Amino acid sequence: MGWIDAELALTALAAMLSPTTLTFSVLVLVLGDRPFRTGLWFYVGALGATVGIGIVAAFVLGNAAASSTPSTPKTWVAVLDLLLALGLLALVVVVLRRPPNTKRTESMLAQMQKVASSPIVAVVGAGAALANPGAFIPIALKDISELNPSAAEYLVDWLFFSLVSLLPLATALLLLLLAPAWTKRTRRSIRACSARVITRSRRVMTIRSPTADRR
């Protein structure tokens, strides 16, 4: 495996562990009364949107980022690598320094509760919008293009990236089928934990508000 293949694998792993994707995937399974139905169509929406991007890129981008000497990337690719790395670093810093936002959490929960009880079309659309790899998409597009693939090879590599990025949700759906009793208990535990977290956050905000007013 070359360094470009390793970079693609790491990008897929990072997309799989993305807090945003994991959060929405967990919530859509926990909050709905029919978790498998909701989770399946949510997965279909996310996978369909991600694969659709790869199909377009296979014919539009292709091997444009490939270099005649793989050990030395093209100048624009090297610049893009630097910009993407700085962007991800800035994103991590912002997320780590951002204080807990109770209103945002409650809004997210309300949004996912609405999605969980929506028609199939709405669930598919929510999956496409909320569970796609997001910021990791341009990195993966560039990585695959650097491998100098044909259109078919590009699609195979992109399918690998798409499936890995959504592996947690796919695993949860399999568990709902293969171990329904254990999965049901786990769902109840996570739902109870979420309720406790929101309650605790509200108490903290209530305590801080009078202090902030006095200042």
135-179 pLDDT tens trace: 899 999 999 999 889 999 999 999 999 999 999 999 999 988 888
Number of domains in the chain: 1
Taking alpha carbons only, the member of 40, 39, 41, 44 closest to residue 24 is 39
Domain range for 41: 3-214
- Beta carbons of 43 and 173 less than 8 angstroms apart: yes
Residue 197 reports pLDDT greater than 70: no
- The answer to whether 73 and 157 are in contact (CB under 8 A) is no
Average pLDDT, the chain: 82
Question: Is residue 13 a contact partner of residue 161, using CB atoms and an 8 Å limit?
Answer: no
Write out pLDDT tens, residues 72-102: 778 888 888 788 878 878 877 776 777 666 6
Check pLDDT > 50 for residue 42: yes
